[in-house]
Structure 1
Amino acid sequence: MTARLAALVIVLWAVVAILWPHLTPHDPALQDPALRLRPPGPGHWLGTDQFGRDVLSRLLAGARPVLLVAPPATAIGVLAGTALGLAAGTVRGWFDDIVMRVLDALMVFPTVIAAVLFIALLGRSPLVVVLVVGAAFVPIVARSVRAVTLVEREKPYVDAARLRGEPPRSLMLREILPNIRGTVLVEATSRLGDAVFAAATLSFLGLGQPPGSPEWGAAVSDNRVWLPVAPWTVLAPALAIGSLVVAVALLSDALRHRLEAAP
């Protein structure tokens, strides 16, 4: 039941991200100083912000920037991490040592510091945020995939494949990968929640979406000074971030428990 509710929340936000132009009751960018900081009520069900913009409309519009960054970043991190972890765990030897030492070194740098560096070099854009967040996930995914690969490579079916003369690439793709797909799936869902939070955090710090964007992290940043007098301007995007992150985390936990219970 929990997994279904979590999946429903994720699907709802995905639908909002796609269809928000048809769902918003007002133009998210329309400013009306006469309606500044109006509390929730008829006509503006989540109130208005400091520029008189409708908070509900901006909340719905803000789903798209988050979901345009999080899934691609997750895909980059999971695909690259799986490839490196699978190769390191299968080949072993000097290749494993070099890959894991490089990944350990990358884990030393916090995502925010890496984001500042790359944004300073390449400029602020959604593509840069996707690449930075995705790269931050590569060492995490690689270590997890390598751990299960080390277990699988010692099993009889892999020994039989070696005796048949299958090359390392075939061992990885045809023998081991199908048997660790559950771990990869769990990593993907876990990293998706992390990507949503990371994207919102970078926007909150001014490293993602520009100020004034309806993106949830940017909205929290823009309105945080009004929290004592107009809490709805901050709580709405903050709860949206929380609902999506928690839903993805619950779905990931449900998948993990199902895999652990499987024979």
Structure 2
Amino acid sequence: MAKFLSRYFNAVFGLSILVVIGLVALFAPHIAPYEADRIFAGPRLSPPSAAYPFGTDALGRDMFSRVVHGARLTAYVGTIALVIGLGAGAVVGLAAGYSRTWLRGFLMRVIDLLYSFPGLLIALALVAFIGPSLENAMIAVGISTIPFFARVTYSVVIVERAKPYFDSGRVIGAGSLRLMVFYLLPNVLPALIVVGSLGFSTAILAAAGLSFLGLGAQPPAPEWGALLADGRSYMTNAPWLMIFPGLSIFLVVLAFNLVGDAMSEHFDPRQRWKR
């Protein structure tokens, strides 16, 4: 047991954080002592105490309740953005990697063009175009991650289609759809799982950044990036308004990165050898 923990300490630590935050998000209404937007639940700008562990904000709202409810919003944002980005990116990358026609060049040139721009810049442009809201931020963040997932999928497909099992599928007469779904996709999934765990943390950071800029979640939604934006005016006299939402974002991103690194090491023998 000690040997297992020493070898996979990062993965166990990251997974433990994710389990705790997942339970908090799932049972948020039962854990939080107050509703997230309840005004004057306590004194205004009260520092952390036994009654209010994370203090209160300028409207007397309990910060612990708002951070707990924000965990559910953060999980929701990350999941939807990841589904959009990973789903669309995998389809585009799989189609481009399998095709030997003009479609490959066209798709990859479009992906390369989008990939030349920072993902956050694409998300900002999309939100500015479709309007600021939490739902639009999720869509924008998801679309901004499509080029990354498409390039990863394309690279893996190019390698996999050169292997003997793919040629054997073509020899027995398997159609294009069968070759992509039953031959290539199962061998692409390990790489997608690894980059998906890292992409989740990227989506959370991007959504929090949009909310911090006022382009994501709108008041009084207790999204962690929005809580950071609300607390920046009180940074000097009420720093807890930024400390606890910022610490929550840090822990989630750290946990997903640790789990992603562990999975990358597990699926890649070269990483295990280096370790």
Give the TM-score range, shorter chain.
Answer: over 0.9
Work out which of the residue numbers 244, 254, 261 in structure 1 matches 2:262. Answer: 254
Q: Deviation of residue 175 (structure 1)?
A: 1.1
Work out which of the residue numbers 142, 160, 167 in structure 2 matches 1:152. Answer: 160
Q: Give 1:22's aligned residue.
A: 30
Work out which of the residue numbers 85, 88, 96 in structure 2 matches 1:88. Answer: 96
Residues 134-213 of structure 1 aligned to structure 2 (within 5 Å):
134-213=142-221
* Identity %, equivalent residues: 37
For 1:80 and 1:180, how far apart are their aligned partners in 2?
14
- Aligned residue-pair number: 263
1:51 aligns to 2:59 (yes or no): yes
Q: Relative to structure 2, which stretch is displaced further, 148-157 or 23-32? A: 23-32
Q: Deviation of residue 8 (structure 1)?
A: 1.9
Q: Deviations over 1:172-213 (max 9, x none)?
A: 111111122110111211111111111111111111111332
| Root-mean-square deviation (Å) | 1.9
Q: Deviations over 1:90-116 (max 9, x none)?
A: 113311100011112222444444444
- Structure 2: which 5+ runs fail to align? 1-8
Q: Deviation of residue 120 (structure 1)?
A: 4.2
Work out which of the residue numbers 11, 26, 44 in structure 1 matches 2:19. Answer: 11
1:64 aligned partner, one-letter code: R
Q: Give 1:216's aligned residue.
A: 224
Q: Deviation of residue 229 (structure 1)?
A: 1.4
Work out which of the residue numbers 228, 238, 242 in structure 2 matches 1:230. Answer: 238
- Structure 1: which 5+ runs fail to align? none
Q: Deviation of residue 50 (structure 1)?
A: 1.7
Contact between 1:212 and 1:222, CA under 8 Å: does it hold in 2? Answer: no
For 2:268 and 2:114, how far apart are their aligned partners in 1?
30
SS of the equivalent of 2:214 reads: coil
SS of the equivalent of 2:268 reads: helix
SS of the equivalent of 2:145 reads: helix
For 1:30 and 1:128, how far apart are their aligned partners in 2?
26
Q: Alpha carbons of 1:188 and 1:116: their partners in 2 closer, same or farther (altered >3 Å)?
A: closer
For 1:180 and 1:118, how far apart are their aligned partners in 2?
29
1:41 aligns to 2:84 (yes or no): no
Contact between 2:89 and 2:149, CA under 8 Å: does it hold in 1? Answer: yes
Q: Relative to structure 2, which stretch is displaced further, 222-231 or 247-256? A: 222-231
1:98 aligns to 2:106 (yes or no): yes
2:74 aligned partner, one-letter code: V
* TM-score where L is the length of structure 2: 0.89
For 1:115 and 1:193, how far apart are their aligned partners in 2?
15
Q: Relative to structure 2, which stretch is displaced further, 142-151 or 117-126? A: 117-126
2:164 aligned partner, one-letter code: P
Contact between 2:127 and 2:140, CA under 8 Å: does it hold in 1? Answer: no
1:48 aligned partner, one-letter code: T
Q: Alpha carbons of 1:69 and 1:33: their partners in 2 closer, same or farther (altered >3 Å)?
A: closer
